[in-house]
Copies of this chain bind each other. A is one copy, B any other.
Amino acid sequence: MAKLTIQRQTILNLINASNQHWDADELARELIIRGHKIGIATVYRGLAALETDGLVNSVQLADKKRYERAVKKHHDHMVCTKCGSIEEFANDTIEALQKVVAHEKGFQMSGHQLILFGCCARCGQQS
């Protein structure tokens, strides 16, 4: 359990107070706007530490990593390719089947990443 410094608390507060999925740069900018003096490297280090300790979760997209508040229940993500919004979903059967598949191949699974790409309900209506 790494040290929960002022800076890391500040990052954590911002993430917990929102439902967004933040990247490091967005977080740094927003914190500075709010009057906190914080370096970008500190944000990266802080996020890594917070994730290690299970205080935040992350989604690794192709281009960047995004962080969200930690929640009890595991879930995966749907990313809208139009507006970039991220929604969460959970499906126990998919989770279970992944383990079955891995086991069949003699693969000791330690994690997974499932992302659905497409057009979210909001964007779909507009088109």
Task: Give the B-binding residues of A (Cβ under 8 A).
Answer: 60, 62, 65, 78, 80-81, 87, 89, 91, 93-94, 97-98, 101-102, 104-121, 124
Contact = CB atoms under 8 A, between A and B. Distances in A.
B107 A97 contact: no
A119 B108 contact: yes
Nearest to A116: B112
13 contacts: A78-B105, A89-B105, A94-B98, A101-B116, A106-B124, A107-B116, A107-B119, A107-B120, A110-B119, A111-B118, A112-B116, A113-B114, A113-B117
Number of copies: 2
Contact of A111 (B87, B94, B107, B117): B117
Contacts of A120: 105-107
Contacts of A107: 78, 80, 87, 116, 118-121, 124
A112 B105 contact: no
A106 B78 CA distance: 11
Contact of A108 (B98, B108, B110, B118): B118
Q: Ordered nearest first, which 8 A-B pairs have the shortest CB separation?
A: A106-B121, A109-B118, A108-B119, A110-B118, A111-B117, A114-B114, A60-B62, A112-B116
